[in-house]
Structure 1
Amino acid sequence: MDVSADALASFAVFARHLNFTRAAEELRISQPALHVKVRKLSETLGRPLYHREGRRLTLTADGEAVARFAREHDERLAHFLSEFAGAPYGRPVVLAAGQGAYLYLLGDTIRGMLADEPTRLRLINCDHRQMLAAVRSGRAHVGVSVLDVLPDDLDALELATFPQVLFVPAGHRLARRRSVRLRDLNGESLVVPPHQRPQRVLLEQGLRSAGTEWTVAVEAEGWPLITHFVTLGVGLAIVNGCVPAPRGLVAKPVTDLPSVTYHVVHQPSATDDARVATLLERFPWPA
């Protein structure tokens, strides 16, 4: 196979954007020229590297592997050239995580990394599916998220586990309970994530199994907005136990919902990179 370094570098940029227009602009070539590069690389390797899902482009598993190799190749070359020139290697380590992890788990980790060297860390904000794709393709070195199923192709380590809790106003009938069950929410209005979000799916399954009748007060994206609606009196909400209860609300463990575990994921060889090892050392691992 005759695979050029230029083709790999171009595909790495395309894989980062998953958009031909933006990738072509970064590469300073025309969009048709980038289409040709990606198509020829796919033909040379004999595998489709991406596919279209509606209006979105998504890498195939082979595309993720090629993108990861392309980025590793580019990093090795950049590292060699830095050493050859006697200059420090300046590329950052990339962390991908969602809103909850950034807000409630990783603050001290990020502050510590940035205090040592502000250019040493780059962050990607994404959901758990995007996080896995970023780590698999090499776009991110490390990812953090709550996972429904642990990936068998990546190292996955438990970072922190929390119960699911009910946020309820201090004067509510459930506020004096030490804990609650889903059947205790019969007749309540709940602030919930949008449809198809993992937490919404799990919650609806649990409420259905408990025979609980409930209504949607409002759908909201992200724990801060969900919590804000509860403080306004719109409804009650079940959130991850890492979310702090604001003034006027109390948190009651929901005993018939499973605990939530955040995992750190990375490629098996990632810890060979000193930058990644340094980042992992700063994580708030359980004692």
Structure 2
Amino acid sequence: MDGARISSDALSAFAIFADHLNLTRAAAELRISQPALHAKLATLARQVGRPLYNRVGRRLVLTPDGEAVARFARDHDDRLGRFLEELRVTPTTRPIVLAAGHAAYMHVLANVIRTTLAERPGSLRLLHTHRHQMLAAVRTGRAHLGVSALDVLPDDLVVTPVATYPQVLLAPATHRLAGRHSVTLADLGGEELVVPPPSRPFRVNLERAMRAAKAPWRVAVEAEGWPLTIHFVELGVGVTVVSGCVTPAPGLVTVPVTDLPDVTYYAAHRPTMLDDPRVADLLDAIRASAHIKAGVLKKLRA
């Protein structure tokens, strides 16, 4: 590998390609032709001395070496942007990339995103991910920061607790349990529940807990994502269990489930990410906003 011959332009082009894994879209973002992009990628692969991506069926997939080069390329772009900003040659225009799932975006991060974009339009780019996709995006440098509820904390990333919420029963205000200050899993015996598909970690954990409590239940409907889950509860299809960060829709109430563990949302990033003051400021804002909401919810339920 001849590192002295690798240009910043080639690395930047590969970083954009790695985000899309699609030559057409990457070339359009770079405002060059597809053959020109292909030539840049081929030259970079020759200079590195390793294949950077392969075609698997109809998809393009990075090789392990390609993932390492993409991670380096993104870091290189970030460092170069900050260096130029310090020299006041040009402002940093590359946005901070935040990865999270729909629950975190809707109920934990909404206020921070709204405020950040109002103050600095274009300063955030959002990736919609499941928790495993979030961790992969942070590890590979595709995202600067990720937020998700985590059961197992990764040892290769820095993880910071953002906020902790109880698990709650979400039910119509007319439901037989709606007037309780709290419920147990045994109280849910015989209920029809709106639940995620069987492969989702939340479904697996809930089923285990219900079995341990010897509380029989039935599937009312399987729903992917909290918005649809909550909508089914509004329709009277069944009740559900959600994180306490959810604000009930009109006509619905939440009741803490005392024998389910709390849900903690974490922010995850690579060790060097807080060297960028924009990432550090965003993390501080997320923690402050989430703790405020958690405190308000605690007061309302006291």
Tell me the TM-score normalised to structure 1 length: 0.85
User: Aligned runs of 1:129-278 on 2, under 5 Å?
Assistant: 129-278=132-281
Residues 199-233 of structure 1, C-alpha deviations (whole Å, 9 max, x = no match) = 11211222233333222211222222211111111
SS in 2 for 1:37: helix
Measured after TM superposition, the shift of residue 9 of structure 1 is 3.0
Within 2, Cα distance between the matches of 1:184 and 1:53?
50
Q: Which amino acid aligns with 2:125?
A: R
Structure 2 match to 1:69: 72
Measured after TM superposition, the shift of residue 35 of structure 1 is 9.1
User: Aligned runs of 1:18-57 on 2, under 5 Å?
Assistant: 18-27=21-30, 28-30=32-34, 34=38, 37=41, 41=45, 44=48
Within 2, Cα distance between the matches of 1:83 and 1:137?
26
Residues 7-29 of structure 1, C-alpha deviations (whole Å, 9 max, x = no match) = 53343223211334533554544
SS in 2 for 1:284: helix
Are the structure 2 counterparts of residues 36 and 94 from structure 1 closer, same or farther at C-alpha, using a change threshold of 3 Å? Answer: closer
> Please, which of 122, 127, 147 is the counterpart of residue 125 of structure 2?
122
Within 2, Cα distance between the matches of 1:274 and 1:173?
51
Residues 87-119 of structure 1, C-alpha deviations (whole Å, 9 max, x = no match) = 322222221111111211222322332232213
Unaligned 5+ residue runs, structure 2?
293-302
Measured after TM superposition, the shift of residue 197 of structure 1 is 1.6
SS in 2 for 1:216: strand
Residues 240-273 of structure 1, C-alpha deviations (whole Å, 9 max, x = no match) = 1100122222212122221111001111111111
CA RMSD of aligned residues (A): 3.0
Aligned residues of 1:160 and 1:263 also touching (Cα < 8 A): yes
Residues 151-204 of structure 1, C-alpha deviations (whole Å, 9 max, x = no match) = 111110000111111112222222233322223222221111123122112112
Structure 1 match to 2:108: 105
Q: Which amino acid aligns with 1:235?
A: G
Unaligned 5+ residue runs, structure 1?
none
Within 2, Cα distance between the matches of 1:166 and 1:38?
55
Aligned residues of 2:138 and 2:144 also touching (Cα < 8 A): yes
- 2:19 is aligned with 1:16: yes
Aligned residues of 1:20 and 1:35 also touching (Cα < 8 A): no
Are the structure 2 counterparts of residues 68 and 223 from structure 1 closer, same or farther at C-alpha, using a change threshold of 3 Å? Answer: same
